[in-house]
Amino acid sequence: MPSGPGPITDARIAEITAIVPPPVATFLLTAETTADAISAHIRTTRPSTVQVVSHIAPSEAARLAEMEPHVRRVQVIHVEGLEALELLPAYSPHVHAFLLDSGRPNAAIAELGGTGRCHDWEVSAEIVKASERPVFLAGGLSSANVRDAIRKVRPFGLDLCSGVRTEGRLDAAKLKAFVLAAKRADAEFSAGHFTDEAPHRDDA
C-alpha cells in the first residue's frame, strides 16, 4: 500500500488467513491494478475476499472475476465528488460489493486508504441508493461520528482504521467505544427511532 498505517507482509497475511475460521471473512487489501497481479496476490495470501483499493480498469475487474470466481471481490470507490456515481455501472457486473473511502488515487503519492478523513456522506448516500450491490462505508469513522454515518448513509457495513488507532497501533479502548456506538446506532435504526436530534445518553 502506498499509504495508510499497518501494512504487513504477504507471508504474515497468509499466516492469518490460514488460522481464521469460517464464517469469518478475511479481506486482502491490494493496491495491484491488473487482474494478473491481483490474482497472484490472492494466490499467495489465500483470503476469502479481496478488496481492490485502486480504481482499476473495468476490463481488469471483469477478467479478475473470471480468474478468481470463488473469491469475493470488493471494489473501493474513492469519493471525491459526484463523479464517483459514474463508476457504479462499470464495476457492478464484476464485484460483490463496494467500499466508499476518502482516498486521492490521482495524488502525486496516491492515497488509497487510512487517511483518517471523512468524505461527503451525501454523495455516499446517493451511491448506496443507486447501487445494486452492498456498500460499505470507510473514511474517518470514529465512535464520535458513527451514529451520523449510519443515519446519513445507511451502509451495509463499516470499515475503520485510523479512528481506532493511537500512534499507529490498534487501541482497545477506542475499538470498544466504536463497537458500542455502532451497536447503539444500529439498534436505534432497527427500532425506527432515528431522528436528527442527538440520542439520549444513559452513560453520560
pTM of the predicted structure, to 2 decimals? 0.87
Domain residue spans of the chain: 10-190
Q: What is the pLDDT of residue 167?
A: 85
What's the pLDDT at 186? 86
pLDDT of residue 161: 84
Q: Per residue of the chain (204 residues), what is the pLDDT tens digit?
A: 556 666 889 999 999 999 999 899 999 999 999 999 999 999 999 999 999 999 999 999 999 999 999 999 999 999 988 999 999 999 999 999 999 997 777 766 676 776 778 889 999 999 999 999 999 999 989 999 999 999 999 999 999 888 888 888 889 999 999 999 999 998 888 777 666 544 444 443
What is the secondary structure of 48-117 as a DSSP string? SEEEE-S---HHHHHHHHHH-TTSEEEEEEE-SSGGGGGGHHHHGGG-SEEEEE--BTTSSS-B-S----
| Partners of 73 in the β-ladder | 50
CATH class, 10-190 region: alpha beta
- Spatial contact of 141 and 178, defined as CB atoms under 8 Å apart: yes
pLDDT at 118: 86
pLDDT of residue 193: 67
Q: What pLDDT score does 5 carry?
A: 65
